Chains A and B, each alone.
Chain A
Amino acid sequence: MPERRRISLRRLVTNGPALVGALLVLTAVACAFLAPFITAHDPVNAQLRLRLDPPTWDAASKAHYLLGADAVGRDVLTRIIYGARISLTVGLTATAISLAIGVVLGLLSGYFGGWLDSLIMRIADVQLSFPFILLALVVMAIFGGGLAKLVLVLGITGWVSYARLVRSQVLTVRELDYVQAARSLGASDLRIIVKHVLVNVISSIIVLSTLQVATNILLEAGLTFLGMGVDPSIPSWGGMLADGRNYITNAWWVATFPGFAIMFTVLGVNLLGDWLRDELDPQLRV
């Protein structure tokens, strides 16, 4: 039985990379919640007069937007700040859905075994051999784009690693003497699952989820970039990059800065995830 460790805020603050990660994530969260208080500009309304206005340090800048304006004259920085909402919403909710599905299926698969186990694991196999982006694109094309559907698609397709993790843990724990003892004492299936199985995987699940939040943020940006994700009228980092790609020859800033926003946020999540892994579950280290 691995020793259970608690997350300590003090160890977070004294660990350089983890602290950087926490600050990056906090910045993104602050942008998402406080967007209207951080920036006075409007993220949606076009101002064609300021079309592709360069960043403020450029002598040609008219509006003196810090990071310039996009193809219809909206402040790039403002849109980046509002865009944090989409990335974090998708990252967190999609992960939560995958987590719920994966844990339930993993428990069912490992605990009850038999045909149910075979069925669930075969579905997992198929899903892993499916080119994910294409699957997501097909689904988005069928059900139409939009935030809710995007979250569902990412959520439903991301369960496999949780299921496998939980299943293997169940298989190990199920045969342990004390679990057999608990069972012979009349403990219910549910009680055994919760008290003996889930507590053992919880730290691995936390680590896996953190890293999946990062993956989901990247996938959301990719699908939105391809026009199959979040509605283009909502400011999102992937959507901004898609716009920027079209103006790459005359307005470099439109495609450059949203990418940094993605990078810093995902980097922050990954740094936190790495730290959590070292803290909670050193065995999971790749």
Chain B
Amino acid sequence: MVPYIIKRVLHGLMVLLAISLVVFFLLRLTGDPVMALLGQGNPTQEAVAAMQHALGLDQPLWRQLIKFLTDLATGNFGISFRNKQPVMPQLVERMPATMTLAFAGMAVSLLVAVPIGIQSAVRRGKAIDVLGRVFALIGISFPNFWLGIMLMLIFAVKLRWLPASGYQGFKYLILPAVTLGLILSSIITRLIRSAMLDVLRQQYVQTARAKGVAERTVIYRHAFRNALIPTVTFVGLQLGSLLGGTVILEQVFSWPGVGRLALDAISNRDFPMVQGAVLMLSTVMVAINLAVDLTYGFLDPRIKVGGKA
């Protein structure tokens, strides 16, 4: 178990290193940020040179890279080109907003997907199954930001029940979280349904029924617990697109998360901020994938984590 965890953590670190290299080199191709920083007008040669020196951009590329990597290792993501403040605290400050949205969205999606998915499988071919499948199909067929705009139009602009955008409390979370959750739930519903159908065919389910175990217990205790394994894997892998989805929704709902910070940084050519945001979100993804891997063992004791398969 322990060697396995170490191996997985090392693998995660390699992935993060690769990502930071990709981002470092991609951003060096963006052209000169000094011009963007000095703004309009005609900056003097001296001003440009001074700025380049201040930002370390006059150093050779390999030296910039080494400095970048050693800084990363010590948790220093650099200084923002824009506001001249360290990047890390600004990202950390935005992180709770993004994570709140992501987890609230995940919660909404599970609240919707688990009951519909289970009932769809149990009552296969009945009305709820057909409805569930139509819901699942339509849910993956439009962009989440459009759903966000439509919900905003209905509940904020027309009905005035909820605030359209901003971040000042629970009421502000509802629309973005529901948007994110509904889209995700359409995919998870589909997954739970097929996993349940698979499990319900298994012999141990039939045995449980034959023993006279109550149908409710069969469904939730025997079947659903096993259907959770593929679901958890998938949900973990989906986190990437979930975080991606929050980037767009943060823009739609003016939600002050890391995604919006990253978008602003990209248009401002604020290299260190972009690097920091991408690395921050990637780290979260890698960590969650790792957690998912290690969770298997708890969900399914047959899978010996780290054992030879």
Provide the residues of chain A in CB contact with B244, threshold 8 Å: 131-134
Asked whether any CB of chain A lies closer than 8 Å to the CB of B153, the reply is yes
State the Cβ distance, A79 to closest chain B Cβ, in Å.
Answer: 16
Asked whether any CB of chain A lies closer than 8 Å to the CB of B240, the reply is yes
Count class of interface residues, chain A = 35 or more
Once bound together, how far apart are the Cα atoms of A214 and B34, in whole Å? 40
B262 touches A137 (CB 8 A): yes
B153 touches A138 (CB 8 A): no
Asked whether any CB of chain B lies closer than 8 Å to the CB of A278, the reply is no
Interface residues of B in 33-65 (CB under 8 A from A): none
Provide the residues of chain B in CB contact with A149, threshold 8 Å: none
Once bound together, how far apart are the Cα atoms of A274 and B18, in whole Å? 36
State the Cβ distance, B274 to closest chain A Cβ, in Å.
Answer: 6
B278 touches A134 (CB 8 A): yes
B289 touches A259 (CB 8 A): no
Asked whether any CB of chain A lies closer than 8 Å to the CB of B122, the reply is no
Asked whether any CB of chain A lies closer than 8 Å to the CB of B19, the reply is yes
- Which of these, B153, B247, B251, B278, contacts A252 with CB under 8 Å? B153
Provide the residues of chain A in CB contact with B277, threshold 8 Å: 134
Closest to A228 in B: B266
Interface residues of B in 109-162 (CB under 8 A from A): 137-138, 140-143, 145-146, 149-150, 152-153, 157
Provide the residues of chain B in CB contact with A132, threshold 8 Å: 240-241, 244
Asked whether any CB of chain B lies closer than 8 Å to the CB of A73, the reply is no
A286 touches B194 (CB 8 A): yes
Provide the residues of chain A in CB contact with B243, threshold 8 Å: 131
Interface of A is mostly: helix
Asked whether any CB of chain B lies closer than 8 Å to the CB of A245, the reply is yes
Once bound together, how far apart are the Cα atoms of A141 and B266, in whole Å? 6
Supposing A133-B244, A137-B263, A137-B266 touch, asked if A241 and B146 sit within 8 A by C-beta, the answer is yes
B282 touches A267 (CB 8 A): no
Once bound together, how far apart are the Cα atoms of A138 and B274, in whole Å? 8
Segment from A47-55, A93-101, A217-225 that makes contact with B: A217-225
Interface of B is mostly: helix
Supposing A134-B278, A139-B26, A142-B29 touch, asked if A271 and B137 sit within 8 A by C-beta, the answer is yes
Chain B 222-265, CB within 8 Å of chain A: the 1/0 string?
00000000000000010011011101100110000001001100
Supposing A225-B248, A241-B145 touch, asked if A129 and B19 sit within 8 A by C-beta, the answer is yes
A249 touches B145 (CB 8 A): no
Chain B 281-298, CB within 8 Å of chain A: the 1/0 string?
110011001000000000
B149 touches A138 (CB 8 A): no
A138 touches B27 (CB 8 A): yes
Provide the residues of chain A in CB contact with B9, threshold 8 Å: none
A125 touches B157 (CB 8 A): no
Provide the residues of chain B in CB contact with A135, threshold 8 Å: 278
Interface residues of A in 134-161 (CB under 8 A from B): 134-135, 137-139, 141-143
B194 touches A134 (CB 8 A): no
Provide the residues of chain B in CB contact with A259, threshold 8 Å: 142-143, 146, 149-150
Interface residues of A in 101-141 (CB under 8 A from B): 122, 125-126, 128-135, 137-139, 141
Once bound together, how far apart are the Cα atoms of A259 and B152, in whole Å? 14
Provide the residues of chain B in CB contact with A252, threshold 8 Å: 153, 157
Supposing A134-B281, A142-B26, A142-B29 touch, asked if A270 and B145 sit within 8 A by C-beta, the answer is no
Once bound together, how far apart are the Cα atoms of A244 and B145, in whole Å? 12
Once bound together, how far apart are the Cα atoms of A244 and B143, in whole Å? 14
Provide the residues of chain B in CB contact with A248, threshold 8 Å: 149, 152-153, 157, 164
Asked whether any CB of chain A lies closer than 8 Å to the CB of B267, the reply is yes
Asked whether any CB of chain B lies closer than 8 Å to the CB of A169, the reply is no
Once bound together, how far apart are the Cα atoms of A126 and B245, in whole Å? 19
**Which of A134, A141, A218, A221 has the most chain B CB atoms inside 10 A of its CB?**
A134
Supposing A126-B15, A129-B240, A129-B285 touch, asked if A222 and B153 sit within 8 A by C-beta, the answer is no
Once bound together, how far apart are the Cα atoms of A252 and B155, in whole Å? 13
Asked whether any CB of chain B lies closer than 8 Å to the CB of A266, the reply is yes
Once bound together, how far apart are the Cα atoms of A142 and B289, in whole Å? 29
Asked whether any CB of chain A lies closer than 8 Å to the CB of B203, the reply is no
State the Cβ distance, A94 to closest chain B Cβ, in Å.
Answer: 16
Chain A 219-252, CB within 8 Å of chain B: the 1/0 string?
0011001111000000000100100110011001
Supposing A126-B22, A131-B240, A225-B248 touch, asked if A286 and B191 sit within 8 A by C-beta, the answer is yes
A214 touches B141 (CB 8 A): yes
Once bound together, how far apart are the Cα atoms of A128 and B289, in whole Å? 11
Provide the residues of chain A in CB contact with B286, threshold 8 Å: 129
State the Cβ distance, A159 to closest chain B Cβ, in Å.
Answer: 15
Residues of B within 8 A of A (CB): 11, 14-15, 18-19, 22-23, 26-27, 29-30, 137-138, 140-143, 145-146, 149-150, 152-153, 157, 164, 190-191, 194, 237, 240-241, 243-245, 247-248, 251-252, 259, 262-263, 266-267, 269, 274, 277-278, 281-282, 285-286, 289
New A-B contacts (10) at CB < 8 Å, excluding given A141-B269, A142-B27, A267-B137: A131-B247, A132-B241, A133-B248, A141-B266, A143-B29, A221-B143, A221-B146, A259-B150, A266-B140, A270-B137
